[in-house]
Amino acid sequence: MARLPYLDKEDLKPEDQELLARGINLQKILVHSPGATRAHGAMGQYIRYGSTMDARLREMAILQVGWLAKSPYEWSHHVKIGFDFGVSEDDIRNLIAESAGTDTDLAPIDKAVLRAAREMTLDGKVADDTYAALADHFSNEHLIDLLVTMAFYNAVVRFLASTEMDVEESYQPYLDQFPLPD
């Protein structure tokens, strides 16, 4: 059970009601602070729709953060979103294997993105050799977008954990298909 009540449109001022357009629990908690909801939404919109970075790789990085954080909410939502942006079931299985230290047949850039997400999540920064591999592949713009994405979702998973956000019933099948580690 979440630490704050989930708000509905009728709980909000008329000018804030559009903040619940998607109707997901994340928004229903965030909207306790309409300003924070707008700021969070702006960054999320940029990451998903404004960045020109490869969408599949972006989602792989976000999934890696969610996996390491053992965040049911983030993981379940981005398994679904990942599927929408080209992540395959094999990609997810390979991400899980790579997280456990097992080498997979993922492309070198896929492995570098996952490694970068692991390093930022676990160590607080991307290691020099990983950064160099990313810089060899990505433009500076894409590199910054990747780093901002990983940093943003590291913040999101901590927010989700701190508010004890519940996973919506419609996202539970993604957790059932790809359960998080204990």
Residue 13 lies in a domain: no
Average pLDDT over all residues of the chain: 98
Residue 45 lies in a domain: yes
Q: pLDDT of 61-120, one tens digit each?
A: 999 999 999 999 999 999 999 999 999 999 999 999 999 999 999 999 999 999 999 999
Number of domain units in the chain: 1
Give the domain CATH number at 102: 1.20.1290.10
- Between the alpha carbon of residue 152 and those of residues 27, 41, 57, 144, 155, the distances in Å are 16, 11, 15, 12, 5
Helix 108-123 × helix 128-137 angle, to 10°: 140
Q: pLDDT of 162-175, one tens digit each?
A: 999 999 999 999 99
Residue 87 lies in a domain: yes
Residue 151 lies in a domain: yes
Residue 1 lies in a domain: no
The Cα–Cα gap between 71 and 93 comes to: 17
Residue 63's domain spans which residues? 23-177
Residue 148 lies in a domain: yes
Per-residue confidence (pLDDT) for residue 154, from 0 to 100: 99
Residue 8 lies in a domain: no
Counting Cβ atoms within 10 Å, is residue 53 exposed (0-12), middle (13-18) or buried (19+)? Answer: buried
Residue 2 lies in a domain: no
| Global pTM value | 0.97
Per-residue confidence (pLDDT) for residue 167, from 0 to 100: 98
Per-residue confidence (pLDDT) for residue 171, from 0 to 100: 98
